[in-house]
């Protein structure tokens, strides 16, 4: 959804799901649609700015879908995604805690 679409649809938006991705959505499923925020190509800073311009006050869910990962690896991905969002201007509710264990975001090669 582009920035203009967010502004145009603002009054109809009430719950947004976020996740990162890389590649074009294709029939052969060669795209990456389930990436941790900051590991794909989504510009979360521009998205936040568009939502602010639209005066969006609804819910936002950050989606994480991992297969074949240990719990500690999932927790690290969760922390990396939240850190990326805060680094790009998102404000998290005070109840959300990030375990800042020297995390560094690494883009897929």
The widest CA-to-CA distance across the chain, in whole angstroms, is 41
Question: In this predicted model, what pLDDT tens digit does every residue of 43-101 receive, in sequence order?
Answer: 999 999 989 988 888 888 888 878 788 988 988 988 999 999 999 999 888 888 777 55
Q: Where would I find the beta strands (DSSP E) of the chain?
A: 15-18, 20-22, 32-35, 59-62
Instruction: Quote the mean pLDDT of the chain.
Output: 81
| pLDDT value, residue 85 | 93
Domain boundaries, the chain: 3-87
- The predicted structure's pLDDT at residue 1: 53
For 4, the token pair is 């203009």
pLDDT digits (tens, 9 = 90+) for 39-51: 999 999 999 998 9
Average pLDDT over residues 3-7: 79
**Structure tokens that stand for 74 in this block:** 């999932």
Q: Model confidence at 104, in pLDDT bands (50, 70, 90)?
A: very low
Tokens of 49: 């700015």
pTM of the predicted structure, to 2 decimals: 0.76
Burial of 12 (0-12, 13-18, 19+ CB in 10 A): exposed
pLDDT at 109: 41
Q: What percent of the chain has pLDDT over 70?
A: 85
């Amino acid at each position: 959804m582009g920035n203009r679409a967010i502004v145009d649809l603002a009054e109809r938006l009430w719950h947004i799901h976020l996740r990162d991705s890389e590649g074009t959505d294709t029939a052969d499923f060669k795209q990456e649609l389930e990436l941790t925020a900051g590991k794909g190509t989504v510009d979360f800073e521009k998205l936040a700015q568009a939502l602010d311009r639209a005066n969006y006050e609804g819910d936002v869910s950050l989606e994480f879908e991992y297969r074949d990962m240990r719990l500690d690896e999932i927790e690290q991905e969760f922390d990396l995604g939240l850190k990326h969002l805060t680094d790009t201007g998102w404000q998290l509710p005070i109840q959300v805690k990030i375990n800042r264990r020297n995390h560094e975001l690494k883009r897929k090669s």
